[in-house]
Amino acid sequence: MGSGHGETINVTLKVWRQDGPGDAGRFDVHQQAISTDASFLEMLDQLNEQLNDAGAEPVAFESDCREGICGTCGVMINGRAHGPQKATATCQLHMREFRDGDEIVVEPFRAAGFPVVRDLAVDRSPLDRIVEAGGYISVNTGAASDANLTPVPKPAADMAFDAAACIGCGACVAACPNSAAQLFTSAKIGHLGLLPQGQAERWSRTESMVETMEEFFGSCTNHGECSEACPKEISLDFIAFMNRDYMKAKVKNRALAGQR
Amino acid sequence: MTDMTTSTAASSGRGTSPALDGRVPDGDLATKWEDHKFSMKLVNPNNKRRFDVIVVGTGLAGASAAASLGELGYRVKAFTFHDSPRRAHSIAAQGGINAAKNYPNDGDSVHRLFYDTVKGGDYRSREANVHRLAEVSVNIIDQATAQGVPFARDYGGLLDNRSFGGAQVSRTFYARGQTGQQLLIGAYSALMRQVAAGTVELHSRSEMLDVVVKDGRACGIVTRDLLSGEVTPHSAHAVVLATGGYGNVYFLSTNAMMCNVTAAWRAHRKGAFFANPCYTQIHPTCIPVSDDFQSKLTLMSESLRNDGRIWVPDAFDDARAAADIPESERDYYLERKYPAFGNLVPRDVASRNAKTVCDEGRGVGPLKNGVFLDFAAAIARDGVDAIAAKYGNLFDMYQRITGENPYEQPMRIYPAIHYTMGGLWVDYHLMTTVPGLYAVGEANFSDHGANRLGASALMQGLADGYFVLPYTIGDDLAGMLGEQAVPTDDPVFTEAVAGVNDEQHRWLSINGTKSVDHYHRELGRIVWEYIGMERDKAGLEKALTEIPALREEFHANVRVLGSADTLNQSLEKAGRVADFFELAELMARDALEREESCGGHFRAEHQTEDGEAQRDDDEFAHVAAWEWNGTGTAQTRHREELSFENVALSQRSYK
Ligand SMILES: Cc1cc2nc3c(=O)[nH]c(=O)nc-3n(C[C@H](O)[C@H](O)[C@H](O)COP(=O)(O)OP(=O)(O)OC[C@H]3O[C@@H](n4cnc5c(N)ncnc54)[C@H](O)[C@@H]3O)c2cc1C
Ligand code: SF4
Ligand code: FES
């Protein structure tokens, strides 16, 4: 197959199969010949086509944009969230990162907050719950004033942007030994908390989002694995920002409550 | 099983079909929308909570609509097949969003944006809609900025603009290469705020598989839960479809993998006319197909054409590396043919010329399916650092995908399907031909005519969702005060639910030999070959025999394994591909009937001496909207005549 300029390599795939949330799960092993031009997910596509032809159910895995921006994809590849290449989501990983004869273990993101749905697909909806808890600026449609009325200093705008680049993939949670969601949550808190538009709700937002996060996810013990795995290289500095804001928020929100 | 004849359509004759009342208000173009907003009926705040509104799709159009309706006080139910609203295809938009803010003071205005959009659409859109779009464009930027969307800023802290897609003014707002992502996160957070407030009930991983109509009015939908397989009816006073475009009918496109036409198509089967399906847009700068297992195509930003030079070797089947081909044996064909615009000719012109040289056998790369986009001259002129500063992330992305270093050898590019201008026909209120059923965003046909300008899709989706639909829907609902939504135990719902359940079991019981993807890929080949960049009568007729034949085989021989009561991605895709088959046939018929070239629709028979699209304004300055007549019967073609009172029709030339 294939007439691109990549070479064909043979790899041994150990793929996690699990029929549903209640199933114990197991590994299936497949020998796969694949062009180094293929993406990792195209290799799984090809495996699925072969499985289907052979009468076996295809492996469930999720992806959509395949451009590293939607955050839908994400599996553990040889124990690493999104695999070996730095700053690269699973869908952006290509087979030229592997060698002939490699064994590749493919598992779902493993985290207490992300139950397995089937095979390699997990439920990441707790991340939506964190956003629902305050990851927004309250401005009804039509209520906004002219966009240039509030200048934003470029450094603040740039830093807010660095945080806003988070794609919500959850790799940070999967990479964390404690299944903590600090990097994701702090990216949202940092994005909004750095902008003038986000100041009015800064303290209530921080408290509410952090506490919702704690309902679903483990606690942070500063391993830094999250940032290593993050396809957008979100910085650990945002976790520090969030922690500081959380401490302040506790004080401020209590003071505000006292005034009511 | 479907079996449509391919006989010529019954046509509704000249003049606007009585079935297509565009409801465009009278009056001066510039004040029409303001006046109309005043004359529309309102639903008072306390009564809004008596109305249920369903919004299907939570991309830019759907999330903005659902959030805005929730803020107004309607009881909203929002549905997406994604696991989270933030994953919609809108997230992938890179370049930017247009708005007539005129911050750079370079002569932009609402009228200019209106004019550029009508002209860019090759005079095949409705003036009144486009003008409204240009008017509300400015509000979008204000709204998004207030939500915290981090648009690019200058050193004074004010918003920055750039020019895009050949516009002569800088009106494009952008957020690095992630404009779609940042706008969607803004709309998504507004939506989640309403979810928290209890005005919006969010149903993720829920795929709409039918629209329910009672006594001619849309009254709800049927969804399938993608995890449990449960099929559920939902009723409402109005249904809004914000379900995106159909570019994936080509199998390979720049669209996300899950984009599909199912929601729009099932609405079509329930009576919503489908307009201009043959208007599809090709983007000239995508990475060429590299192998048989290619799953999608990746867009390389159009901005690269500002500094890259496009060429192919003079010789046929020249297998030398680019560096070994001397200048004298290279054909910079765009610079040669279009000295004035050179490498910056519009998308469709650049695309067709790439196809021509590849078809001649002068394509480059291992599969001879691309043309060079060469930065050597720009690097020699400006230095590597300057080029890296401008395009570094794109160069990295290219290298990650192809394994080739564009600083050292030219990129290879080829056109790919990118956007679909056709879609559900809607009137000025964004209502389809089924009362109570609306379509917003890429799912409708409205504002781009036969060709969309760069950075205008994000603008249109958000205009529809934030600033148009929330007004127009109130006017229609006001008349329904006191009416209860149709209960979900009504026979119209139980029948629709049974239909969806039957469909799932039918796919699982075929037990053929080939996968759904196999048929999708084969369908895509036909559509790309005959209804792609260039169409002609013979090819379209061929498509009209090949598509039904392949469709028959698909319905008889597809193999969908597993069960219906769990996550089953093949099962999901089977229904979507079935709808693509029916759509593809309609595209071919629409393209065949439109005996002219305009925008993204290029009929080889209709071109100027320069190879430019040759419109026929006397015969074809109309929208073609197709009415479903039941499975096995050809759709009827209706026309909505377009009149141009504020712009003069002209012929493009880029020489
Ligand atoms: C690579 C790329 C780059 C682009 N760049 C730009 C750009 O720079 N500027 C610009 O203006 N435009 C750009 N576009 C075009 C633009 O992104 C899209 O046209 C626009 O985002 C579409 O938005 P939408 O809300 O209509 O649909 P989408 O974002 O596609 O959302 C569709 C929604 O509907 C849901 N859905 C669909 N069917 C169903 C169903 N049956 N049941 C339940 N839910 C369903 C999906 O889950 C999703 O939530 C680009 C497009 C591509 C492909
Ligand atoms: S912080 Fe990084 S790893 Fe975590 S969700 Fe965001 S993009 Fe993914
Ligand atoms: S599929 Fe979208 S980020 Fe990977």
Q: Based on the domain organization, do B495 and B391 belong to the same domain?
A: no
Does domain A8-118 fall under CATH 3.50.50.60? My reply is: no
Q: What are phi and psi of A160, to 5 degrees?
A: -60, -40
Tokens of A53: 């032809």
Place of tokens 């598509």: B547
CATH number, residue B544: 1.20.58.100
Q: How many domains are there within chain B?
A: 2
Q: What is the pLDDT of residues A103-150, one digit of tens each?
A: 999 999 999 999 999 999 999 999 999 999 999 999 999 999 999 999
What is the tens place of the pLDDT at every residue in B597-644? 999 999 999 998 878 889 999 999 999 999 999 998 999 999 999 999
Helix ranges (H only) for B148-274 are: 179-197, 262-269
- B111 located within any domain: no
CA-to-CA dists, residue B460 to A120, B131, B441, angstroms: 36, 11, 6
Q: Residue B287: its pLDDT value, please? A: 95
Contact present, B169 and B99 (Cβ < 8 Å)? no
- Tell me if B328 is assigned to some domain: yes
Q: What is the dihedral of CA B81, B84, B89, B93, to 10 degrees?
A: 170
Tell me the pTM.
Answer: 0.97
B356–A contact, CB cutoff 8 A:
no
pLDDT digits (tens, 9 = 90+) for B12-47: 468 999 999 999 999 999 999 999 999 999 999 999
Cβ atoms of residues B227 and B207 within 8 Å: no
Q: Which residues line ligand 1 (CB under 6 A)?
A: B 56-62, 79-82, 88-90, 92-97, 179-180, 207-208, 242-245, 254-255, 259, 262-263, 299, 418-419, 441-443, 455-458, 461
Question: Looking at residue B165, what DSSP letter applies?
Answer: T
**Per CATH, the architecture of A124-257 is what?**
Orthogonal Bundle (1.10)
Which of B391, B417, B443 marks a domain boundary? B417
Complex prediction ipTM: 0.97
Q: Is residue B107 part of a domain?
A: no
| B202: phi then psi, degrees, rounded to nearest 5 | -100, 125
Q: Note which residues in 122-151 of chain A have CB less than 8 A from chain B.
A: 123-125, 127-128, 131-148, 150-151
Query: Nearest CA to CA, how far is A62 from chain B (Å)?
Result: 9
Q: What is the helix (H) or strand (E) element at residue B209, kind and residue range? A: strand B206-214
Provide the token pair at B540: 């379209």
Asked whether residue B129 is domain-assigned, the answer is no
Torsion of CA B573, B578, B583, B589, to 10 degrees: 150
**Closest-CA residue to B375 (of B400, B394, B350, B401):** B394
| Catalytic residue check, B521 | no
B227 touches chain A (CB under 8 A): yes
Q: Which of B133, B125, B153, B171 is nearest to B454 (CA)?
A: B171
- Are residues B391 and B516 part of one domain? no
Is B582 contained in some domain? yes
Residues facing A107 on adjacent strands: A76
Which sequence spans correspond to the domains of chain A? Answer: 8-118, 124-257
Divide the 655 residues of chain B into consecutive groups of 10 and give the mean pLDDT of each group.
41 81 96 96 94 98 98 98 98 94 96 94 96 98 98 94 80 92 98 98 98 98 98 98 98 97 98 98 94 90 88 94 96 93 85 93 94 96 90 88 94 96 98 98 96 94 98 96 96 98 98 97 98 97 98 98 97 98 98 97 92 92 97 95 94 73
> In the structure, which protein residues have their CB atom closer than 6 angstroms to any atom of ligand 3?
A 63-66, 68-73, 89-91, 167
Domain limits for position B537: 491-614
**Ligand 2 pocket test target in A127, A167, A220, A225 with most atoms within 8 Å of CB:** A167
